[in-house]
A and B are shown apart, each in its own frame.
Chain A
Amino acid sequence: MKDKPYFAVIYMFVVTAFFSTVLIGFSRLTRDRVNANEQLAFERAVLAVFPEIAVESNADIHRIFTDQFAKTPEMGGAYLYYKDREIAGYVIPVEGQGFWAPIKGVVGLALDKRTITGISFYEQSETPGLGARIVEEDFRGQFIGKTISQTDKPIAIKPSSEALRENQVHSITGATQTCIRLEKLINDGLSEWFQSVKPAEEQP
């Protein structure tokens, strides 16, 4: 039986079928969780750009997100942040190619549309220990309170030896490439958003 040539084919088929079935079953079981994780990662990033929001648990994140944030088509794809039923800020999604893979994140703007309230990322695969440090508090915290420049680049990432102006932050040593691309994708995202909201502002 075992020496017959067709045995190998049948055997391979049975083994493949068995393992595939188990895998498909397993992935069905975890799919909802994986999708929920992705949604949660995005919501967490959105909340993180407003330091005043206190988050205690994962359940909190979703509740606050649905209560206080809303996406409106008029605002160029940005999420509006409501505090006590008043608009208190804007969340602008930014994304682009990083050094290794796409970086996706959000930038929070205060009502004046110039002051950055925070920045955070929900997807990146930069080098761990180098580029991946963009998600760390040390790096992200620098953006809080910075003002977007209207004459220069909106935001600039400078080497850590240079003194900073109001629209500049320090880069991560050893992750020059990531920082260059990050600067570009943030600026692209912001400029695009300003372009799209301009006409809306001019109307009375």
Chain B
Amino acid sequence: MSPQPSKSTKDLALNGIWRDNPIFRQVLGICSALAVTNVVLNTAVMCTSLTLVTALSCLTVSLLRHWTPRNIRMMVQTLIIAFYVIIVDLMLRAYWPEMSRNLGPYVGLIITNCIIMGRCEAFAGSNPPGSSFVDGFFSGLGYSLILLAISVVREILGMGTVLGFAVPYFSSPYWDKWIIMVMPPGAFFTLACVIWLCRSIKSKEAKP
């Protein structure tokens, strides 16, 4: 890959959050986090962990890029990602045991999230540490925003609450709670609708 001209932070942010948003552009990396999107709080914690891990891994990969031999770079990247994931996991277990129990194995599964590996490979491996960090951060953020949107929809429709607080109307007896939204199929349907929405807006943007 040829060295890209250094991009501005604004550019990187726009790319990560909208133009190249990992979820609806590439439909990547939903595996490890979709399962926890039925409760907003769990999603928020999961997304924060993921964004931090992505940003820090990109930073580290970028710092080591001049020394890492090409043929073993994937192994080194995996190692770096695993390192940060384990730190996040230990921190949660030590300082927020309830959350750690709620998220179960999903924190560990951040390791296999394709987004982190993808950003490390595509951007951090050939760019300076500063912009790699920013790029990783905004990719994680773009991903987080979509998952948070999904979790808000699921929690409101399924339980009538957001972050545990009752939402007017949805928590009243007039609203028949859509239990299915809290169950796995709800995640598929909501994500499909979000992708549909974003793609439709995008194609309108591209047309004029």
Residues of A within 8 A of B (CB): 2, 7-8, 11-12, 15-16, 19, 22-23, 26-27, 30, 33-34, 37-38, 41, 100-101, 123-125, 127-130, 132, 173-174
Interface check B86, CB cutoff 8 A: yes
Q: Is the CB of A38 within 8 A of B97?
A: yes
Known: A123-B101, A129-B159. A11 touches B69 (CB 8 A): yes
Q: Is the CB of B80 within 8 A of A128?
A: no
Q: Is the CB of B94 within 8 A of A12?
A: no
- In the assembled complex, the CB of B111 is this many whole angstroms from the nearest CB of chain A, namely 13
Bound complex: CA of A41 vs CA of B99, how far in Å? 13
Q: Is the CB of A7 within 8 A of B69?
A: yes
Q: Is the CB of B83 within 8 A of A34?
A: no
- B contacts with A, residue count (CB < 8 A): 33
Q: Is the CB of A27 within 8 A of B69?
A: no
Bound complex: CA of A37 vs CA of B97, how far in Å? 7
Bound complex: CA of A15 vs CA of B81, how far in Å? 13
Taking CB atoms, residues of chain B closer than 8 Å to A130 are: 38, 179, 182-183
Q: Is the CB of B179 within 8 A of A173?
A: yes
Interface check B68, CB cutoff 8 A: yes
Interface check B206, CB cutoff 8 A: no
Q: Is the CB of B79 within 8 A of A15?
A: yes
Binds A, one of B7-15, B70-78, B194-202: B70-78
Taking CB atoms, residues of chain B closer than 8 Å to A26 are: 87, 90
- In the assembled complex, the CB of B59 is this many whole angstroms from the nearest CB of chain A, namely 14
Taking CB atoms, residues of chain B closer than 8 Å to A34 are: 90, 93-94, 97
Partner of B104, one of A12, A22, A100: A100
Bound complex: CA of A15 vs CA of B83, how far in Å? 11
Taking CB atoms, residues of chain A closer than 8 Å to B68 are: 11
Taking CB atoms, residues of chain B closer than 8 Å to A22 are: 83
Interface check B125, CB cutoff 8 A: no
